[in-house]
Structures are given as structure tokens and as C-alpha cells.
Amino acid sequence: MMNQWVERYIYAVSKKLPVSMREDVSKELRANIQDMIADEPLKEENISDILHKLGHPNQLANSYRGKERYVIAPEHYDNYISALKLFGVIFVIVAVTTIPLTVYVDGWRTVAKALFRSLSEGLLNTFTWTTIGFWIMGSWGKNDTKETWKLKDLPELPKPNQRKISRGETIFEIIFGVSFGLIFISWMQNGFPFFNMDIVRPFLIFFYISVLFDFCVGIVKLIYGTWCIPVVIVSTIEKIYSLIFSYFFLRSDFLNHEIYTTIADNSEYSIETIKNTIDLSKEILLIVIVVGTTVSILTMFYKVYKANRKA
Amino acid sequence: MNDESILSNLIAELRRGTQVLAVLGQLHKDQYGYSLLQDLSTKGIKIEAGTLYPLLRRLESQGLLVSQWDTQETRPRKYYTLSPLGLETYTSLVKEWQLLIDTMNQILKEEQ
């Protein structure tokens, strides 16, 4: 338990350091702290005194880093690089998967031009916004080097047995979620024969939000890599959003009424029966969505609960 | 900022300038962080652990010190010692220090 405080202190310092220094500084700091402790009886006040002699973890990390200033805070650097790679890959894949659609709509020549422009601009934008995002993240709540701090203020050590989120799976989810979402939306925008566009059009913006939400959740999952509280919160919000959205969309009269007549003309059923059947399927679909979402939220909370209990 | 903290800041600044010299002077033989800290404090040099440990790394990255992990003992320790460049630098710094003391003493004497 006493060593727990030391480890938490070392973790608090090392997570603010560039990755290249982390391991060696931790090792040396641990050795030095243990030397300092060795002379004293192992009590919480003594540990606290010794750690306070070393100063606030952020202050110590600053001294280890020297005077260099970073656009990207060292503790975010790994994530920054992987985010950059990831956004780049996602961007290219989304751009490429949407080609068939744009070709279909606009013809080849415009597409080649547009693609070249959007790729170069898009990659530059990706870089800029990722960097700005991480820069803001790094300058936020930074350099809190109060003189009075308590052992309890030290960050918790990351839990080794926390459920990992598979990176590959998440990347797959993002790529397919975003590209199919976008293809589906532009399909609807260009007039989807089965849909009553007057009703569907106001919903389009919510479809976009939904795709964006999906994308954000994926990114949060990649950044944290485990089923921790922020990931669970973001996913829950996203799921509840989809639920509410599905409710309003399915309850709206989004189908084109001509489709009823078309089916009726080609079958022996009356328009009334067809309409009732479709309404019933919409209700059933809604129930399936509600149950599915509830189950998936509950499973998620259960996973987190289990991971925290074991630790 | 009150008078007292101005004074203590100035004292800290004065000390900071001498710390590197004091540390280099103790590293003719191998020392690990904590042993050096104790050595310095018995000799009356006031340096915080949180200042010393990062300072050692910085001097190492500047090439003035070399380090080596000793994993033979129960606790692994990182030992530092002067590099040839460090020794050279130390000698020059000592000369500079003597010069500084002489000049300063002269100035302070005149003031009295």
C-alpha cells in the first residue's frame, strides 16, 4: 500500500514526460525514492514528506523536461501521432469509397479534379485540426504546480486488467460507419424513390450528426483504448441519441405513399393491409432497436463494473 | 510579492548558480542520486531532491557526466561520474569561480 503512493507519484511524473525518457526516469526516480524511504519507518506521513520534498509531480516533470516548450504535450504525443495516422487513413479511405458515388452523379472528369483537390486539402486540414485539437488538449489544465497537494491528489495507476478495446475492430467500425453513413445520406439527398422527401429532408441533418457522433465515439475509443468511464459515457450518449433519433424517424411518415399503391397493384392485398403491415414492422423494428440499445448499454456498464471490481 | 519572498527568491537564484559547480565537484567518484544528495547536505549545500535528480540527467545529456546502472545490488542504482569533458569543464568553472569570488570580494570591500 505504501509503495502504491510511490508508484502513483512516479506515474504522475512520468506521464508528463516524453516517451523516450519515461522508462529510465521512472526507474531512477523509483531507486532514489526507495533510497530516501529506506532511512525512515514505513509510514504514510513519511512517504508523504519524502514525496513532498521532491515537489509537485508536474513541477518535477517540468524540471526533467528542461525548458523546452511543446505544441503537443508529451503525455499526448503518442496519441497525437496515432490520431494523425488514423485520421489520415480514414480520410483517404472515405474519400476513395465515395468515388463510385460521385462518379455516378457527376462523371469522371470533375471527380478526378475534385478528388485531387479534396485529398490535398483534406490531408492538410486533417493535420491542422488534429494538431490544434491536441494543442488545446495539452494547454488545458496544464501546469498545475500547487505547493500544497496531498497523496490522494496523485492520479490512479492505469488498471492492467481493464478490458481492452480492439484497435482493429474500432478502426473497422469507424471506416464502415462513416463511409456507409455518408453514402446512405447522399443517396437520400439525391432522392430516394421509396422515401417521402418532404418528410425525410429535415431529418438529414440528424443523420449527419449521427455519423459524426459515431466517428467521435470511435476516436474516443481509440484514444483511451479501454472501457473506461469517458468511453462509456460517450458511447452511452451516442446510443441514446440514436435511440431517440430512430424513434422520431420511424414514427414519422417517411415512406412514399406511392409504394403502397405499387405493392397493392402487384399483389392481392389491399392498400389498407399493406399499410398496416408496414406500420407493424416499423413498430417491431423500433422495439428491436430499444431492446438492442438497452442490452448493449447494460453490457457496457457490466464490463466496466467487472473491470473495476477485480482491480 | 512581499519583501521576504523577494529576498528568498534572490537567495535561491544565487544558490542555483553555484549548484552545478558543487555537484560537479562531488562527482570525481561514482555517486548515485541519493548518496550525492546526502553528501551535499552534510557539506552544507542546500539542494532539493527535486532539483538534483533532474539536474544530474541534464548534465549527463550535456555530456558532462556519464552514468551507469548498477544492478548487482538489491536495489538497482544509477551511478554518475564526471566525463573527460565534465572534468575539463569543471576545472574551467573552478577558475572562473575563483575569479568571481576575488572580484566580488573586491567590490563588497569597497562598498564598506
Edge-first strand listing for the sheet containing B31-32? B31-32, B77-82, B65-70
Does B44 contact A at CB distance below 8 Å?
no
Residues of A in contact with B49 (CB under 8 A): 32, 36, 53-54
B6 occurs within a structural domain: no
Element (H, E) at B68: strand B65-70
Mutate to test the interface with A, among B36, B52, B53 (most CBs of A within 10 A): B53
B54 in contact with A, Cβ within 8 Å: yes
Residue ranges, chain B, pLDDT below 50: none
Q: Which residue has the cell 459515457?
A: A233
In a domain, B15, yes or no: no
Are A254 and A195 in contact by the 8 Å Cβ rule? The answer is: yes
Question: Could you tell me where the beta strands, DSSP code E, fall in chain A?
Answer: none
The answer to whether the CB atoms of B49 and A29 lie below 8 A apart is no
Distance (Å, whole) CA B14 – CA B18 = 7
**Residue A282 to residue A249: CA distance in whole angstroms:** 10
Any domain includes B106: yes
In eight-state DSSP terms, residue A75 is: G
- DSSP states along A150-182: -GGGSPPPPPTTSPBPPHHHHHHHHHHHHHHHH
Q: Which three cell numbers stand for residue A267?
A: 399483389
- Number of domains forming the structure of chain B: 1
Tell me, what's the pLDDT at B83?
94
B102, part of any domain: yes
**Cβ <8 Å between A28 and B51:** no
Q: Do B78 and A66 count as a contact with CB atoms less than 8 A apart?
A: no
**Identity of the residue in A27, A53, A66 whose CB atom sits nearest the CB atom of B50:** A53
Helix (H, G, I), strand (E, B) or coil at A98: coil
For the domain that residue B101 is a member of, what is the CATH number?
A: 1.10.10.10
pLDDT at position A222, please? 80
Which residue carries 572562473 as its cell?
Answer: B96
Residue A210 and residue A239 in contact, taking contact as beta carbons nearer than 8 Å: no
CB pair distance less than 8 Å for B78 and A31? yes
In whole angstroms, what is the distance from residue A27 CA to residue A7 CA? 11
CA distance A265 to A21: 75
Q: What is the pLDDT of residues A213-256, one digit of tens each?
A: 888 888 888 877 777 788 888 899 999 999 999 999 888 888 88
pTM here is 0.56
Q: What are phi and psi of A162, to 5 degrees?
A: -65, 140
CB A247 within 8 A of CB A191: no
Is B14 among the domain residues? no
Domain that residue B101 falls in: 20-111
Would you say B40 and B22 are in contact if contact means Cβ atoms under 8 Å apart? yes
Structural domain spans, chain A: 2-65, 158-311
B55 located within any domain:
yes
d(CA A271, CA B37): 91
Residue B53: its pLDDT value, please? 92
As given in the structure block, the three cell numbers for residue A64 are 526533467
Q: Please report how many Cα atoms fall inside a 13 Å half-sphere around the Cα of residue B40, on the Cβ side.
A: 26
User: Which residues does chain A have with pLDDT short of 70?
Assistant: 1-2, 41, 67-71, 74-75, 78, 93-115, 138-147, 159-163, 307-311
Cα atoms found within 13 Å of the Cα of residue A162, Cβ hemisphere only: 17
Distance CA B57, CA A26 (A): 12
Domain contains B9: no
